[in-house]
């Protein structure tokens, strides 16, 4: 096989009854004697993976007093910044992959006319990845913009089995009106395939798992397998064993490790489902059976699925909505204080330092979820780089100071080297610059060449130590 320079296709899958297992990258997918960078396989799999995460309610560091105390972004720009006063302390082990962009604004989320005043929570999410001002309606005539994840998926990722996936942690209600004259879909959805086509997100990790690995199976097949506590991998055990015989020793280990990781995700799903069926009181009684009761476990399970999808190149694009605006969810133990602080009420801190510190604790907790994904991707090797080197992870909020419902000094950072296009270890400050400048730069980094994006002034150089003050009035 290898002497004749034939190779296994990157799109090879193993199939069984209601099971489709895409493979991780293997050395056998590269023709013998050819440099990695010159192969068709390299051109295919070296396209950057994108994860766009949104956390609502802005940050304590976006308030006037929070800016003074560097509760979100560090005081110094460039490469020698100190994360210790900020909510980004958990990112310190990954600072070589970290790019902080501070000072940006989101004009699209602001009220453009008197009837829109007060509706900031209900506009924000729809503007985050689109930077398009949503049309105020509670009917079906919704209109926003195409989101950057979908632009990338459409232009560069149509060769994967799943062009993109949309995930969320909280329940969504995409029908009808919510408040201030806005349809609920504006608040519930991050990804827009077109200005009139929102893409609802999946909350249930089991549904994500089935979409990734259970393609072709019927709902009855899947339900029966879950009741029997069986593994999808049981149906392809023979195929896996036979396929391994075609591989070299290193590839056998890689394939074995990948199959084990899929099985471990499935085992954890089964434990969650068994607990939720046990009759014990649930923290989230309305949630699907596959949803863990804790935020921490839910987010990590979704991140495991993201890593598995990236490893098999099932999809290269995820949007991930981590919360809903105006939600009062509590995160037990997140702030280290006695009692649990509900998210939305805590975000209205009244510019009081003690309450700001409490809100900063929630911000810090939410950010601390990101290193889990970074660690997973860093330990997956693909060709000559690990997957964190090949990824662009975005984390931010379309709101700034939630106490004032404004959209300036937005919390935002990027992780990963995007296949060498992002240096990392940078803090760039552009006070008053539109967030769309960052998205335009991100699209260019992802290989989508565009000159403008919504209200962007120009692409932002994310590899330079820049500090700028734009003329736009900021709070």
One domain for residues 390 and 282: no
* pLDDT score recorded for residue 1: 33
Cα→Cα distances 73→8, 80, 426, Å = 46, 13, 11
Any domain includes 306: no
Do the Cβ atoms of 129 and 147 come closer than 8 Å? yes
| Residue 142 confidence (pLDDT) above 50 | yes
CA distance 349 to 410: 17
pLDDT of residue 474: 41
Q: Which class for 58: exposed (0-12), middle (13-18), buried (19 or more C-beta within 10 A)?
A: buried
In a domain, 116, yes or no: yes
- Residue at which a domain ends, from 273, 290, 307: 290
Boundary-marking domain end, from 256, 273, 290: 290
pLDDT by residue (tens digit) across 216-242?
556 666 666 666 667 889 889 999 999
CB 199 within 8 A of CB 189: yes
* 91, part of any domain: yes
Same domain membership, residue 383 and residue 282: no
Question: Are residues 65 and 180 part of one domain?
Answer: yes
Q: Is residue 297 part of a domain?
A: no
- Quote the domain boundaries for residue 332: 49-203+315-469
> 165 falls in which pLDDT band (50, 70, 90)?
very high
Do 28 and 72 reside in the same domain of the chain?
no
**Around 57, how many Cα atoms within 13 Å sit in the side-chain half-sphere?**
24
Q: Within 10 A of 141 (CB to CB), how many other CB atoms are there?
A: 9
User: Which stretches within 381-473 are classed as H helix?
Assistant: 435-445
Tell whether the model's pLDDT for residue 2 goes beyond 60. Answer: no
Q: Tell me the pLDDT tens digit for each residue of 281-296.
A: 998 999 999 999 999 9
Same domain? For 322 and 419 the reply is yes
The CATH number linked to 182 is 3.40.720
pLDDT at 457: 85
385 and 462: one domain? yes
**Would you say residue 309 lies in a domain?**
no
Higher-confidence position of 467 and 436? 436
Phi, psi of 70 (to 5 degrees): 50, 50
Does residue 371 fall inside a structural domain?
Answer: yes
Indicate whether 384 and 454 sit together in one domain: yes
Buried/exposed code over 380-418 (b: 16+ C-beta within 10 A; e: otherwise): bebbebebbbbbbbbbbbbbbbbbbbbbbbbbbbbbbbb
Whether residue 257 is found in the same domain as residue 355: no
Residues 190 and 237 in one domain: no
- Going by pLDDT thresholds of 50, 70 and 90, the confidence category of residue 172 is confident
Give how many domains the chain has, as a whole number.
2
Question: Residue 46 pLDDT more than 90?
Answer: no
Kindly report, residue by residue over 347-388, the tens digit of the pLDDT: 999 999 999 999 999 999 999 999 999 999 999 999 889 999
Pinpoint the alpha helices (H) of 312-454. Answer: 343-347, 353-367, 370-378, 435-445
What per-residue confidence (pLDDT) applies to 72?
Answer: 98
DSSP 3-state of 377: helix
Inform me whether the pLDDT recorded for 473 exceeds 50. Answer: no
Task: Categorise residue 160: left if φ over 0, alpha if ψ from -120 to 50, beta otherwise.
Answer: beta
User: CA 303 to CA 51: how far, in whole Å?
Assistant: 10
Q: Which residues pair with 101 in a beta bridge?
A: 428
Q: Is the pLDDT of residue 125 over 60?
A: yes
The pLDDT of residue 31 is 76
Q: 236 and 147 in one domain?
A: no
Average pLDDT over residues 86-91: 98
Which range has the worst mean pLDDT, 27-31, 285-289, 387-391? 27-31
* 332 lies in the same domain as 184: yes
pLDDT average, residue stretch 441-465: 93
- 374 within a domain of the structure (yes/no): yes
Do 38 and 105 share a domain, yes or no? Answer: no
Strand partners, 166: 319
The DSSP element (H or E) to which 424 belongs, if any, is none
pLDDT at 304 over 90: yes
Average pLDDT, the chain: 91
Predicted pLDDT at 145: 98
Q: How confident is the model at residue 174 (pLDDT cuts 50, 70, 90)?
A: low
- Residue 243, in any domain of the structure: yes
Nearest CA-CA partner of 107 in 457, 378, 455, 469: 455
Among 290, 325, 352, the domain boundary falls at 290
| Integer Cα distance of 231 and 225 in angstroms | 7
CA distance 210 to 456: 39
**396-420 average pLDDT score:** 98
Q: What is the pLDDT of residue 43?
A: 58
């Amino acid at each position: 096989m290898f002497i004749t320079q034939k190779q296994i296709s990157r799109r090879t899958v193993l199939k069984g009854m209601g099971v489709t297992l895409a493979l991780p990258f293997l050395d056998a997918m590269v023709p013998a004697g050819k440099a990695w960078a010159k192969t068709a396989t390299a051109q295919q799999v070296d396209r950057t993976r994108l994860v766009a995460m949104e956390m609502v309610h802005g940050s304590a560091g976006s308030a006037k007093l929070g800016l003074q105390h560097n509760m979100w972004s560090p005081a110094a720009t460039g490469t020698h910044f100190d994360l210790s006063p900020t909510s980004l302390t958990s990112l310190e082990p990954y600072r070589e992959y970290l790019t902080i962009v501070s000072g940006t604004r989101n004009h699209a989320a602001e009220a453009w006319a008197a009837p829109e005043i007060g509706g900031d929570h209900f506009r924000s999410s729809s503007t985050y990845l689109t930077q398009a001002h949503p049309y105020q309606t509670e009917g079906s005539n919704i209109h926003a913009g195409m989101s950057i994840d979908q632009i990338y998926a459409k232009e560069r990722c149509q060769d994967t089995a799943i062009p993109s996936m949309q995930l969320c942690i909280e329940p969504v209600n995409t029908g009808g009106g919510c408040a201030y004259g806005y349809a609920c879909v504006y608040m519930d959805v991050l990804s827009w395939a077109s200005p009139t086509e929102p893409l609802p997100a999946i909350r249930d990790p089991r549904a994500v798992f089935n979409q990734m690995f259970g393609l072709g199976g019927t709902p009855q097949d899947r339900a029966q397998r879950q009741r029997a506590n069986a593994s999808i991998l049981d149906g392809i055990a023979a195929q896996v064993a036979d396929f391994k015989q075609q591989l070299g020793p290193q590839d056998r280990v890689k394939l074995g490790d990948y199959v084990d990781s899929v099985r471990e995700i499935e085992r954890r799903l089964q434990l969650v489902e068994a607990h939720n069926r046990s009759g014990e009181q649930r923290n989230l009684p309305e949630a699907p059976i596959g949803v863990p009761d804790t935020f921490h476990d839910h987010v990590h399970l979704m991140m495991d699925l993201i890593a598995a999808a990236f490893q098999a190149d099932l999809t290269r694009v995820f949007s991930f909505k981590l919360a809903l605006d105006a939600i009062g969810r509590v995160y037990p133990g997140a702030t280290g204080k006695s009692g649990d602080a509900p998210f939305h009420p805590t975000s209205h801190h009244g510019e009081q330092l003690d309450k700001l510190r409490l809100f900063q604790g929630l911000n810090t907790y939410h950010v601390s979820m990101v290193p889990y994904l970074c660690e997973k991707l860093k330990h997956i090797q693909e060709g000559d780089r690990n997957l964190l080197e090949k990824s662009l992870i975005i984390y931010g909020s379309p709101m700034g100071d939630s106490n004032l419902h404004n959209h300036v000094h937005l919390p935002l950072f990027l992780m990963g080297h995007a296949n060498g296009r992002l240096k990392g270890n940078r803090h760039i400050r552009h006070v008053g610059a539109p967030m769309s400048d960052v998205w335009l730069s991100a699209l260019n980094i992802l290989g989508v060449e565009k000159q403008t994006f919504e209200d962007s002034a120009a692409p932002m150089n994310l590899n330079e130590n820049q500090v700028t003050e734009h003329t736009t009035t900021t709070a």
